[in-house]
Amino acid sequence: MLLEFEKPIADLESKLQEMKDLAKGRNINLTPDIQSLEDKIQTLKKETFQNLTRWQRVQLSRHADRPYSLDYIYEITNDFIELHGDRTVKDDKAMIGGLGDIDGRTVMFIGQQKGRNTKQRQERNFGMANPEGYRKALRLMKIAEKFGKPIVTLIDTPGAFPGLEAEERGQGEAIARNLKEMFMLKVPVICIIIGEGASGGALGIAIGDKVYMLENTWYSVISPESCSSILWRSWDYKEQAAEALKLTAPDMKNNGLIDGIIAEPLGGAHKDMQTMAKTIKATIIEALKELDKIKHEKRIDQRIEKFCAMGVVEE
Amino acid sequence: MAWFKRTDKGIKTSTEEKKDTPDGLWFKTPQGNIIHTRELKNNSYVCPDDDFHVKIGSKEYFEILFDGNKFKELDTEMKSGDPLNFVDTKPYKGRIAATIQKTELNDAVRTAVGKMNDLDLVVACMDFNFIGGSMGSVVGEKIARAIDYSLKNKIPFLMISKSGGARMMEAGFSLMQMAKTSAKLALLEKAAIPYISLLTDPTTGGVTASYAMLGDFNIAEPEALIGFAGPRVIRETIGKDLPKGFQSSEFVLEHGFLDFIIDRRQLKNRLTTLLNLLRN
């Protein structure tokens, strides 16, 4: 599956492949041509990806080939044991978590999980957690705190699930409780938006000492489509809404609402998952090194102060 | 023959100039009961015939709760900035200015400290008239500072919520107000200062998913709409009609997320009793 702006690049890439096959099959020397086409592709890629509109980044964040939480976790860890259930209602498969190691150090991973095909997407509820998902996440955070393990959350959700049972079981209360409890966690908490960061459903696992966004992700109070439908009373203004919401990683960094941006491989995270996972891993290690130096009381104070400084008012 | 005969010719009053009927001497409830507004006011804005709770704002709640309507208001001058230069069909700045003029409020929450039956109480009360009671930086910051006041002076905190949720025009900033207010409530909890959250009609979205649901005591007025997702969104998601009474106060109480439902006429005395039970 290709996005509109990926197509010209893919066309050239398939031409390049043809050329390479031809050279190999007929044993002709096409090296200069191949070289020039490769340069051309590289230039086009750079041009395209350095000038992405906000809406195009939203599209990339939802790319069908984009790596999901478990993809990264299995790539980053040597050992990983997935843990299930909120101990009250059920196991929410839109929210995953477990203990894993990063170069020998144990970390509690928690994240929303999307599905790759129709069956998986249904099973994972499109990455939209129910209250039991947020409660499962909190249960795992408390285990991490108890055993002194740092927490890494991976955020990728189009929102908390707006369903009937979700309301009956207190979606609002589940998210609210996580917000409050996460401020008081004694262990370091690192949050990374790896895809979509939609509103309260994202924030419900995104209170951390360090909050990062991958380069081609979005994080805001509402999706551009819903914003368009509410403020413009039409679904057709999603591009304008994306611009107005300033929901990209550079926007959020400029506004002081996140701590950093994690660079993606040229063409997006899905073009080179291994490299992406390596960069994420390096970022986590670096952040932990810094956070380990701070006493937990001070870390909690700093976490609270950081979020309390967010907002612009006139008086 | 025509039923009516126009005697004055050439009446061309433009719509803006047309005079409204004088603002309600009488109020009609959804059930059709009619009540004089003075009587309504004396009855905590509840219709005595059918117990209908009229939607009211901070002015009325302060009047109901604070002894002799005496209180000290906090951060009265705080107004919204426009950090994103947000423009949809109208610029956000213009929307704010127009709403301030129309409502004579500076934003969607007012905070105050005063006495309720001689007990000190900090109250933050939302105003739905101000852009649907939406939560932007001002709402978050004023609530945060009201909680700071509670913390510093060891005074119980009452939050009266009435909101459609986050304020889209402040996007990411608005989202982080959920975090900010929850952080302050975590500190209040640590200091063991009572926090009562009163949910009124309607309380939805990011407000439900942060401070409104975090009370030591969550209470609500009767028949208020309380939920995370709005009913329309849920209906569209599940493709089914919603059961009667879904997301009402009574429904939320039944499912275990409220401590009790309170008739507004008893609000002041019940809150006093609750706080006294905690003190003694």
Say which DSSP state A248 is in: B
DSSP annotation string for A21-71: HHHHHHT---HHHHHHHHHHHHHHHHHHHHS--HHHHHHHHT-TT---HHH
| A204-228 pLDDT, tens digit each | 999 999 999 999 999 999 999 999 9
Peptide linkage before B30 cis (omega within 30 of 0): no
Q: Is A245 part of the contact surface with chain B (CB cutoff 8 Å)?
A: yes
Tens-digit pLDDT profile for residues B142-152 = 999 999 999 99
* Test mutation, A122, A126, A179, chain B, max B CBs within 10 A: A179
Q: Does residue A133 sit at the B interface (CB-CB below 8 Å)?
A: no
What would the 3-class secondary structure string for chain B be?
A: CCCCCCCCCCCCCCHHHCCCCCCCCEEECCCCCEEEHHHHHHCCCECCCCCCECCCCHHHHHHHHCHHHCEEEECCCCEECCCCCCECCCEHHHHHHHHHHHHCCCCCEEEEEEEECCEEEEEEEECCCCHHHCECHHHHHHHHHHHHHHHHHCCCEEEEEEECCECHHHHHHHHHHHHHHHHHHHHHHHCCCCEEEEEEEEECHHHHCCHHHCCCEEEECCCCEECCCCHHHHHHHHCCCCCCCCCEHHHHHHCCCCCEECCHHHHHHHHHHHHHHHHC
Do the beta carbons of residue B275 and residue B119 sit within 8 Å?
yes
> Are the beta carbons of A160 and B209 separated by less than 8 Å?
yes
Largest interatomic CA distance in chain A? 76
Whether this model's pTM surpasses 0.90:
yes
Residues of chain B with Cβ-Cβ distance to A162 below 8 Å are 228-230, 233-234, 237
Over residues B187-217, the pLDDT tens digits come to: 999 999 999 999 999 999 999 999 999 999 9
User: What pLDDT is recorded for position B1?
Assistant: 62
Q: Out of B78, B178, B190, name the one closest to residue A203 (CB).
A: B178
* CB atoms A308 and B83 under 8 Å: no
Note the pLDDT of residue B15: 63
Instruction: For residue A243, list chain B residues with Cβ-Cβ distance below 8 A.
Output: none
Asked whether residue B4 carries a pLDDT value surpassing 90, the answer given is: no
Cβ distance of B138 and A232 shorter than 8 Å: no
- The pLDDT, as a whole number, for residue B100 is 97
Closest CB from B137, B228, B233 relative to A312: B137
User: Using one digit for the tens of pLDDT, what is the confidence trace for B96-107?
Assistant: 999 999 999 999
Determine, for residues A247 and B171 on separate chains, whether the beta-carbon distance falls below 8 Å.
yes
Mutating which of A235, A258, A313 best tests the B interface, going by the most B Cβ atoms within 10 A?
A313
- pLDDT tier, B129 (very low <50, low <70, confident <90, very high otherwise): very high
Q: Which residues 6+ apart lie within 8 Å of A295 measured at CB?
A: none
- Picking from B76, B87, B170, B175 by the largest number of A CB atoms within 10 A of its own CB, the best residue to mutate is B175
Are the beta carbons of B98 and B127 closer than 8 angstroms?
A: no
A218 CB neighbours in chain B (<8 A) are: none
* Residue of chain A whose Cα is closest to the Cα of B186: A180
A156-199 confidence digits (pLDDT tens): 999 999 999 999 999 999 999 999 999 999 999 999 999 999 99
In whole angstroms, give the CA distance from residue B27 to residue B55: 12
Chain B CB within 8 Å of residue A26 CB: no
Start-to-end CA distance of chain B, whole Å, equals 79
Which residue has better confidence, B14 or B164? B164
Q: What is the pLDDT of residue A29?
A: 84
User: If you ran DSSP here, which 8-state letter would residue A108 be given?
Assistant: E
Q: Is A167's Cβ below 8 Å from some Cβ in B?
A: yes
Q: What is the pLDDT of residue B9?
A: 74
The pLDDT of residue B17: 66
Which tens digit of pLDDT belongs to each residue from A44-88? Answer: 999 999 999 999 999 999 999 999 999 999 999 999 999 999 999
- How far is Cα A121 from Cα A167, in angstroms, rounded to an integer? 22
Can you say whether the dihedral through the CA atoms of B225, B58, B121, B78 is positive or negative?
positive
pLDDT (tens digit, 9 = 90+) per residue, B54-83?
999 999 999 999 999 999 999 999 999 999
Contacts of B109 in chain A (CB under 8 A): none
**Interface touch B187/A304, C-beta < 8 Å:** yes
Q: What is the pLDDT of residue B253?
A: 98
Q: For residue A47, give the amino acid letter.
A: E
pLDDT of residue B246: 96
Interface test with A, best of B228, B250, B253, B257 (most A CBs within 10 A): B228
B144 vs A308: CB contact, 8 Å cut-off? yes
Q: Is A225 helix (H, G, I), strand (E, B) or coil?
A: helix
pLDDT at A23 over 80: yes
When pLDDT is averaged across residues B259-277 and rounded to a whole number, the result is 98
Cβ-nearest to A310 among B138, B166, B176: B176
Smallest Cα distance from B185 to chain A, Å: 7
| A122 pLDDT more than 90 | yes
